[in-house]
Amino acid sequence: MIPFSKSLKLSVIALSGVTFGAHAAQAPKQIDVKAMSKTVENVVVPLPNEIFGALNKLGSVNWREYVRTEKTSNFTERPRIALLLGTVIADGFIAVQAEDAPAVKDIGNRVLNLSKFIGVGNSIIPHAKAITEAADKRKWESVRQELDRTQNSVQQAMNEVHDEKLSQLVSLGGWLRGTQVLTSVVTKHFSPDGAELLHQPDLLVHFQTQLQGMPEFNVPIIREIQTALGEVRPLVDAPKISPDSVRRINDITTKLDSGIVTRE
């Protein structure tokens, strides 16, 4: 994978003019999606701030309420570190929403330490530095981009040493923390549009399938997440997601988050 930053340096052709005179050929107005036999299996898990951005447009959110500053436990089990790493990166996105520079910098350091614990620290050092610098200058868009790069670099480094399953747990940890915060916000100020942001049944299937392929990770939290996702899936697969469902998902994800960040 080539990160976006590299591409900027690789600017081969001035593309700003490409759209001039370009138009889309007539595409069929309707297709049979069930007949699409050639489907790419790779799933790009949305970033927490992709959801937070949509949530922000529904009304102002007091993001400071959700910034987590207390230190999390240290673990030795790699699957637990991977889950925690994803959660902490999601905390970074929350701190950016809150425009809380000290919290962002603290989270940058925690991400670096966790990456070192799991053996991919070297790939994160430049990102941690860039996060700190951008937070100092309050360049929030740069911090968001750098957090995405951080997660991507962690996962790439894991994939390179064939730790793809740990890489998947990083995404899952981030998604769980993002969903916990989303449901907290929507529980407090319910709106059908806010609840609709939880309509992610295919992502639930994706995570469930991945967890089924991890029987070797014999840590209780992984099994707890697996069971919990089975409970969440029908709740998010409804045409309208009710306030009760949002509250239930919040209870489930809060319990899981507590299990991810604290030692039993």
Partner 1 sequence: MSHLLMNGFTKHSLRIALCLAVIFALPRGAAGTVDDAQSFALQAAEPYVKEGFQVREDYWGGDLGSGEKKAVRQQLFKGNEYWFWLGTEVERAKVSVHIYDSEGKLAEQPDSWEKGHFAAAHVIPKATGSYFIIVAVEESPEERTHWALVYGFR
Binding mask 196-215 for partner 1 (x = CB under 8 A): xxxxxxxx------------
**Is residue 2 involved in binding partner 1 (CB under 8 A)?**
yes
**Is residue 250 involved in binding partner 1 (CB under 8 A)?**
no
**Is residue 126 involved in binding partner 1 (CB under 8 A)?**
no
**Is residue 54 involved in binding partner 1 (CB under 8 A)?**
yes
Q: How far is CA 162 from CA 27, 44, 153, 167, 229, in A?
A: 40, 19, 14, 9, 25
* CB nearer to partner 1: pick between 30 and 76: 30
Pick the piece of the chain touching partner 1 (CB under 8 A) from 40-48, 69-77, 86-94, 211-219. Answer: 40-48
Number of other residues whose CB lies within 10 A of the CB of residue 164: 14
At residue 261, φ and ψ (nearest 5 deg) are: -90, -15
Q: How many Å is the Cα radius of gyration of the chain?
A: 19
Task: For the CB of residue 76, give the shortest distance to partner 1 in the complex, in Å.
Answer: 29
Residues 6+ apart with CB under 8 A from 222: 79, 169, 211, 214
End-to-end CA distance of the chain: 37
How many residues are given for the chain? 264
Number of other residues whose CB lies within 10 A of the CB of residue 149: 18
The secondary structure of residue 166, as a DSSP letter, is H
CA distance 241 to 70: 32
* CB nearer to partner 1: pick between 26 and 76: 26
Pick the piece of the chain touching partner 1 (CB under 8 A) from 6-14, 108-116, 159-167, 225-233. Answer: 6-14
The secondary structure of residue 170, as a DSSP letter, is H
**Is residue 60 involved in binding partner 1 (CB under 8 A)?**
no
Task: For the CB of residue 167, give the shortest distance to partner 1 in the complex, in Å.
Answer: 11
* CB nearer to partner 1: pick between 87 and 155: 155
**Is residue 23 involved in binding partner 1 (CB under 8 A)?**
yes
> Contacting partner 1 (CB under 8 A), which of 149, 167, 173, 183?
149
**8 Å CB contact between 210 and 168:** yes
Task: For the CB of residue 64, give the shortest distance to partner 1 in the complex, in Å.
Answer: 22
Residues 6+ apart with CB under 8 A from 32: none
* CB nearer to partner 1: pick between 27 and 215: 27
Q: What residue ranges bind partner 1 (CB under 8 A)?
A: 1-4, 7-8, 10-16, 18-19, 21-25, 27-33, 36, 38-40, 42-44, 46-47, 49-51, 53-55, 57-58, 141, 144-145, 148-149, 151-152, 193, 196-203
